[in-house]
Chain A
Amino acid sequence: MPDGLAIDVHGMTKRFDGLTAVNRVDLQVRTGDICGFLGPNGSGKTTFIRMLCGLLRPDGGSGTCLGHDVMTGSEAIKGLVGYMTQRFSFWDDLTIHENLDFVARMYSIGNRRRVVRESIERLGLEGQGNKLAGELSGGWKQRLALAACMIHDPKLLLLDEPTAGVDPKARREFWEEIHRLAEQGLTFLIATHYMDEAERCHRLAFILNGKLLSQGTVAEVIEQAHLTTWSVSGPDLTGLAGKLRVRPGVEQAVAFGNTLHISGDDADALLGAIAPFRAAPYEWRGIDSSLEDVFIHFMGGRAGRQMEGPRMDGPSS
């Protein structure tokens, strides 16, 4: 990867009889980055990831994954990529040890026994290797899956909603591990729904209805949304929210604790909309839009309007 890009693809497209699940998506991820892949259910995240690791044949597109052509090099890519499926996909009727051992054999790993033993130790499951995978709880299944897809020492990890249904403590530990691995030079593309997780990523890519709407750092993505947000406090905020939502220029009126956040992408229209209420007992304050505001903004009605993000060719800011 001479240009330091682990993923560099253009125009990736996948159609399922009539439905365009992924529509000309360009994505660049630098080596060592953690890229968050955001988008509501059915937006095409899984489909895109499957195309990257050769599980689906793209209908269009070009580019490289770890330096290998995505259209023709999927055998080579498979050997270098670790893919964690959205649904647990290891064998329930094999034990932890047998699952890991199988994966290690499939990748023809030298000193397999030691690698598997160390993997179980790192999992913190010494002495429990004989437990059937099907008997593990959700959190442990997810850790087993991560351990298994890393056993062949991959350069790129494609994780499809890895923390869905995992408790907050396990999620935090999981992310600490991800950051540790990224520091060692691993690259991550992680599909997720969670805002707090998105904020832990180096970069984000937001996809909706198969189209990439925005990509960049958290700040860049927020910036690209051109969203203006006001915070208001005072009595009967629920009533106020109802009144504001129907006014032109107001996209969202969402309660945050004792305040209400009002957003819209036309700053002047928004100003006009709130003008009648800018008096006591309400207190108004202009604030930075949060990632969640942006996320909802993208999802609400803006579908399909492509936002050209800055290309990340080579190292930038």
Chain B
Amino acid sequence: MKFSPSRLWAIVVKEFVQMRRDRLTLGMMAGIPVLQLLLFGYAINANPKHLPTAVLMADNGPQGRTLLYALENSSYFDFVRRVKTEPEGRRLLARGDVQFVVNIPENFTRDFLRGDRPAILVEADATDPVATVNALAALNAAVNGALKNDLKGPLAFLSGTAPPVELQIHALYNPEDITAYNIVPGLMGTILTMTMIAITGLAITRERESGTMENLLSMPTRPLEVMIGKIVPYILVGYMQMALILLTARLLFRVPMAGSIALLMAVTFVFIVANLAMGITFSTLATTQRQAMQMSMFFFLPNILLSGFMFPFRGMPVWAQDIGEFLPLTHFLRIIRGILLKGNGFTDVVRELWQIALFAIVAIALSVKSFRRTLD
């Protein structure tokens, strides 16, 4: 029996009608990406100010006060507590009462006037780096700006090359720092992976559990027809999601789109197919819908952790990078960040694209191979 395009089309039509009729799932397919993007995006894009700060002031001179005044003026820091000792400051940080402890050491004014470049120590609770990253950037500017005014007259010699004070920042608990522009494109790939795998993960097991598989198998058909027929309608869903995500990213988060959106859309096709094929492979391997869901979850985990979505890819140990290189999401993240943020063109993305394509082909072959044509 040869591969028949008309039988393939029969399955496409059937799946499409069933998909259209399943309003709940379809609604979720549209709702999940927007919701996730809003939740993630706003948490990230928020530029929190007036962060509670404790001060350890061991210096009595005017420069110390100037400094504090400048920090408060930057509107990122609210001095809510005065502490006497360093451990006291640490405790406040640990309890989450303050986000920062600014430590101006003894003899700060004296050392400053001598040109000894005294150190200011800022300890930050960086559990959520997004919360501190902007404040820390502002800190640097505020410190230098404030003291510059004092470097006149006899102190003019200090305004040379090196900054007049040494700013020591200790980011505690989480030294990572993730930016919003990095994560929103990353989310596009992650959301597509999650929804595409979940939806086709059920495609075959649902037929098995409802008993319709017996009917389908009693008709003359080839596994490849069934696989492709079940994938095609969801490519549309994938594009619907992509469009929603891009729109949200652009309108709400002002994610820059430096490269060609048409190119991105074209490349996404391969990525969507790869994930749908992976899902359908799970579906053929599993015997129940529950098993298929568990497999999808199991696959989703390394995608989140090792693709460069959560942690910078280059920061991972080599073995983790090796695993990451197998995942379509890893390559897609490079592609989408490349296109949106760096304005990459086709020749730049091909390097990553063929690896996604290879994954898709292997996944489809695997699903066809493991598709059981009988009930035993």
List residues of A whose CB falls within 8 A of some B CB.
16, 50, 53-57, 75, 78-79, 81, 83, 85, 87-94, 98, 101-103, 105-108
Question: Shortest Cβ distance from B35 into chain A, in angstroms?
Answer: 26
Q: A91-B212, A106-B219, A106-B220 are in contact. Are A55 and B14 (CB under 8 A)?
A: no
| Complex contact A56–B219 (CB within 8 A) | no
Contact A78 B211 (CB under 8 A): no
B374 contacts partner chain A, Cβ-Cβ < 8 Å: yes
Among B3-11, B70-78, B236-244, the stretch in contact with A: B3-11
Contacts of B17 in A (CB 8 A): 93-94, 98
**Contact B218 A105, beta carbon cutoff 8 Å:** no
Interchain CB contact under 8 A, B211 and A102: no
Q: How far is the CA of A170 from the CA of B216 in the complex (A)?
A: 27
Closest residue on chain A to residue B212 by CB atoms: A89
- Tell me which of B4, B9, B18, B220 contacts A78 (CB under 8 A): B220
Interface size class of B (residues with CB under 8 A): 20 to 34
C-alpha gap A50/B221 in the complex (Å): 16
Q: Flag B212-255 by CB within 8 Å of A: 1 or 0 each.
A: 10110111110000000000000000000000000000000000
Q: Is the interface of A mostly helix, strand, loop or mixed?
A: loop
Cα–Cα distance between A274 and B367 once the two chains are bound (Å): 67
Count A-B pairs with CB separation below 8 Å.
71
Chain A contacts of B14 at CB under 8 A?
Answer: 91, 94, 98, 102
**Is the CB–CB distance between A75 and B220 below 8 Å?**
yes
Q: For A94, what are the chain B residues with a Cβ–Cβ distance below 8 Å?
A: 14, 17-18, 21
Q: Which residues of B contact A56 (CB under 8 A)?
A: 374-376
Give the docked Cα–Cα distance between A33 and B154 (Å): 118
In Å, the complex CA distance between A88 and B7 comes to: 22
B218 touches A83 (CB 8 A): yes
**For residue A106, which residues in chain B have a CB less than 8 angstroms away from its CB?**
7, 10, 219-221
* Chain B residues, CB < 8 A from A98: 14, 17
Name the A residues within 8 Å of B220 (CB-CB): 75, 78-79, 106-107
Q: Is A107's CB under 8 angstroms from B219's CB?
A: yes
Q: Please give, as numbers and ranges, the residues of chain A lying within 8 Å of B22 by CB-CB distance.
A: 93
Contacts of B9 in A (CB 8 A): 105
Least CB distance, B91 to chain A, in whole angstroms: 60
